[in-house]
Amino acid sequence: MKIKNQNTVPSKYILFILVIVCGALLISERFVDGGGPLRWIGNYTVVPMQKGINYVGRWMSDFTENFSTLEEMKQKNEELQSKVDNLTIENTRLRQEQYELERLQELYKLDRNYGDYEKVGAHVIANNGTNWFSSFTIDKGSNEGIRENMNVLAGSGLAGIVTEVGPDYAQVRSIIADESNVSGMILSTSDLCVVRGDLQLMDDGRIRFEKLPNNDNTVEVGDQVVTSHISSRFLQGLFIGYVSEINVDANNLTRSGYITPAVDFSELQEVLVITSTKQDMIDAGKKAADSNEGE
């Protein structure tokens, strides 16, 4: 019976059907969000297992960290202490400037503060399994209020953007991924540029920036790059990294170069997700403008 069953449908027909199904899936993606039900299945089968493996991994790395020697800890402590001192000095200086800024902003009636976004912490539970793309999965999804296009920070820098949300997980595309494009701004000169991820630079941990106008403003190695105010998806003022190399392009109109990102993408464990998207802010701004007009 079994043998007869296998002979009834030749394997080429099955192949033909599967290929058609794949093609249909590829085409249907244009019109509908085809991943929905599959994502739902994945959320209750694969994601819990990923969380489990990740939990064991975290426990093991904590365990090995316990065995680091006292000397190493002392050295680290000293380093951190000196860093704290430096930061305290810088902080006082910045606070003075902050007061001045607030006073001036009041004069100009600018009250938007871009510095304090609400954030939620999340664990990285899995990475992209292919060598072609750079994305990761975090353990919070729409049940915790994560939505598409939310910006993701790691440490002090921008790590990526949420591209796909399941009930209990979300997919984040990192800014070093080949298909990533971020509108950036050089902090010291306020010139705009485009920060592009590149597969060819991914293993060096560097990213490219392009289309920086070749004007009189000097941009030096070590300058900070942040996200710009014109981006439609990235919030303003998120730290991307430091300029590590800069060249004038052959057309003599623009400059391009490399950025060392502030985030170490090879060892991402915890990230912060900013819970408001740029679109929310644009809408809120529009509403405020409308109500002002109404008055």
Partner 1 sequence: MKRKIVTVLVIVICFLLQCTVFHALAFGSIRPNLLIIATSAFGFMRGKKTGMLVGFLSGIMADVFWGSSLGLYALIYTLIGYLNGCFRRLFFDDDIKLPLALIAASEMIYGTFIYFCIFMLQGEFNFLFYLAHIILPELIYTILVTLVLYQVILHINRGLETEEQRSASKFV
- Where on the chain is the footprint of partner 1 (CB under 8 A)? 6, 11, 14-15, 18-19, 21-26, 28-29, 34-35, 38-39, 42, 45-46, 49-50, 53-54, 57, 125-133, 135, 137, 171, 178-179, 199-200, 202-203, 266
Integer CA distances (angstroms), 124 to 41, 87, 154, 270, 275, in order: 20, 28, 10, 6, 17
We find the least distance from the C-beta atom of residue 198 to partner 1, in angstroms, to be 9
Nearest to partner 1 of 26, 101 (CB atom) = 26
Phi, psi of 100 (to 5 degrees): -65, -45
Distance in angstroms (rounded) separating the CA atoms of residues 263 and 241: 8
Spatial contact of 7 and 130, defined as CB atoms under 8 Å apart: no
We find the least distance from the C-beta atom of residue 129 to partner 1, in angstroms, to be 4
We find the least distance from the C-beta atom of residue 225 to partner 1, in angstroms, to be 23
Phi, psi of 216 (to 5 degrees): -75, -15
Distance in angstroms (rounded) separating the CA atoms of residues 126 and 52: 11
We find the least distance from the C-beta atom of residue 277 to partner 1, in angstroms, to be 20
Nearest to partner 1 of 46, 80 (CB atom) = 46
Distance in angstroms (rounded) separating the CA atoms of residues 148 and 41: 19
**185 alpha-carbon distance from chain centroid:** 16
Nearest to partner 1 of 36, 285 (CB atom) = 36
Residue 47 class from Cβ within 10 Å (0-12 exposed, 13-18 middle, 19+ buried)? buried
Nearest to partner 1 of 236, 256 (CB atom) = 256
Residues in the chain, how many?
295
Nearest to partner 1 of 54, 142 (CB atom) = 54
Nearest to partner 1 of 127, 275 (CB atom) = 127
Q: Structure tokens of 129?
A: 């399994």
We find the least distance from the C-beta atom of residue 269 to partner 1, in angstroms, to be 11
Distance in angstroms (rounded) separating the CA atoms of residues 70 and 58: 22
We find the least distance from the C-beta atom of residue 258 to partner 1, in angstroms, to be 17
We find the least distance from the C-beta atom of residue 49 to partner 1, in angstroms, to be 6
Spatial contact of 233 and 278, defined as CB atoms under 8 Å apart: yes
Distance in angstroms (rounded) separating the CA atoms of residues 254 and 260: 20
Q: Structure tokens of 268?
A: 């991402």
Nearest to partner 1 of 5, 252 (CB atom) = 5
